[in-house]
Each structure stands twice: as C-alpha cells, then as structure tokens.
Amino acid sequence: MSVISVSRLKKYFRVFKRKEGLLPTLKSLVKRPFETVKAVDDISFNIEEGELVGFIGPNGAGKTTTLKCLSGLLYPSEGKVRVLNYEPFKRDSRYLKQISLVMGQKNQLWWDLPSVESFRLNKEIYDLSENEYQKNLKELSELLDVGDLGKVPVRQLSLGQRMKMELIAALIHHPKVLFLDEPTIGLDIVMQKKMRDFIANYNRIHKATIILTSHYMADVKELAKRVIIIDRGRLIYDGNLVNLGRKYADHKVITAHFEKAVNGENFKHLGKIKTVNEKSLVLTVPKSKAISIATDLLNNYRIRDFDIEEPELEDIISIIFSHKTS
C-alpha cells in the first residue's frame, strides 16, 4: 500500500477581481466579480514508503497548494487524498503526529527565545518522553552539526543557522512523512549542500517518505531519483529523473578536449558553441545529429577526451515550460 495516494485531486479558489477606477469599485459594492483559479487541477500520483520525490514547477504551478492538501491545511475541492491511510483534512491527531511540513519562507520558532524552548514545546505537543526527546535532539543536532546554537535566541542566528533549528523543531518527533517546501531558499551554496546532505541522511536512516519542492535544481538532482512536474495545476510528468532528458530534451551536449589548439570558428556550423578555448569545446547539437557530429569530430581531430551528455536539468525544465506556455 502506498504511503501517499492522490487521486484526481482538485483545489479551486474563488478570487475577487475587478477593473481599476471609481466606477468598477462602486459596481463591486453591489455585485462582486469573481473568477475561479484552478490551483490544482485533477492530478494523481502514488508514493511508496521511503521514497524521496522531487516536486517541480514554476511559481504558481500548485506545488505548495498540493502540499497543504496533503498535510491537512487545505480541504480538496474534489478528489481523494490519503497519507499513511488517513484523510489529511480530517486533522486526526494520530496523523498529525506522524508528519511534518517545513516551509523555507515560514518559521515556527519563537523569535526572542532560544530554539530549545520551541523544541521543548514540540516535545509536549507530540507527547514525547524525556528519553525520546533527548535521543532525537542529540541525533538531529549531530546530523546538522549545530553545537550549542539551540541556546542562542533565534533573532541572533543567521539564516542558515535558523533553518537548521527549524528542521530540528520539525523533526523532533521523527515523522514518517516529510513535506519540504523550498527548504534551501535563500541559503548560500555551502549551506545548501549541508542541508541536502542532512535530508539525504535523514531519509536513509529513518526510511522517511519525503516530497521536496525546490527551485534549485541541484537539490532535486542530488536527492531525488523520481520527479513529479506540474504546471498551472496540471501534472505533466511523473517518472525517473534520468528519463526526463530523454523524453523532453531536443539536443545533446558534446564536450571535446583536443591534443592541439583549435580554432573555434571551425565548429560554428556543427551547432551552438557554449564554451570554447584553445584545446576544449562544449557544443550544443540537435539530438538527431549528435552521433554524426560526434563521428565527424573524432575522425577529423586528435581528441584526448570526449563525452556526449543530456542537457543540464535546468535546461530541460526550461524546455518543458517554454513548450507548455508557447
């Protein structure tokens, strides 16, 4: 049985809209103009225990709305949602004690108090024994390498330090299902890497089922084997990350390192040159011509290293969304 089961989920909102000016304003006092926004529009998927799935989409695609439906914060307009065999919107306490929702732009810590005070509060909320609490706190503190930061008032912490404290607060009860909404947003490259390492370790150690949304494709590439892509509330891809490029990319990237210096002008007819210097070349070529162009290069130049790859994930995602909006 799937840990997360979503069947034909829809979440629509009625949004008040009117034109600018005095007359439309006066008219709206009598009859308010509304339109229906389809934040999530008939999506279905299943996620098994221990899976870590990347949930991708542009701003306004419906990612956060979906996570809020899964965590019980929003009631679906239509469809069926079950997580750990519970219906999230019923807000059963037994269910809420087994999940956690972490939103990179929101915080649950008391701003003027040390983080450990919020940890203590969550201990009571989740009915943890003192032994469980201390064990979980020690494990999470070591995984995140926070030292004594829990004793420092939250307002004195850096963004990266605060996000570590937020994760400890959210995971102190060792949830079975974790919804991560932009957990690395605003962090520098070093801190992003530390966060990714932590998430991977937590998933491995506790076999937690995790849905991760992120605009940083490095998060998705390093953590998720499977991705779900939505746009304008509709699901457009659900499958292996490796197969994403094969399905949507219209080009390949050829990298060649030469024995001798070459002239970049000689390669313009082959494709789009991404980078070139005296002894190396990175070339974007149509997928259908990749083999013939590679053969041409290998036959006509002395090459010491050569590679043909799928485009970067960022490029593939751009291709998908540009096609959807064109």
- The segments of the chain whose pLDDT lies below 70 read 323-326
Residue from 214, 233, 232 nearest 224 by CA:
214
Domain covering 250-309, topology: Alpha-Beta Plaits (3.30.70)
Q: Which residues contact 56 (CB under 8 A, 6 or more apart)?
A: 63, 213, 214, 220, 227, 228, 229, 230, 317
299 vs 181: CA distance, rounded Å = 49
Residue-level pLDDT at 171? 93
Residue-level pLDDT at 23? 76
A 10 A CB-CB count for 204 gives 11
How remote is the C-alpha of 40 from its chain's centroid? 17
Residue-level pLDDT at 187? 83
Write down the domain spans for the chain. 4-245, 250-309
According to CATH, what is the number of the domain 4-245? 3.40.50.300
10 vs 28: CA distance, rounded Å = 28
Residue-level pLDDT at 287? 86
Residue-level pLDDT at 16? 77
Tens digit of pLDDT for each residue in 209-258?
999 998 888 888 889 999 999 988 999 999 998 888 777 877 889 999 99
Q: What is the pTM of this model?
A: 0.81
81 vs 282: CA distance, rounded Å = 46
Residue-level pLDDT at 325? 47
Tens digit of pLDDT for each residue in 240-253?
988 887 778 778 89
Judge residue 304's burial from the number of C-beta atoms within 10 Å of its C-beta, 0-12 exposed, 13-18 middle, 19 or more buried: exposed
Residue-level pLDDT at 137? 94
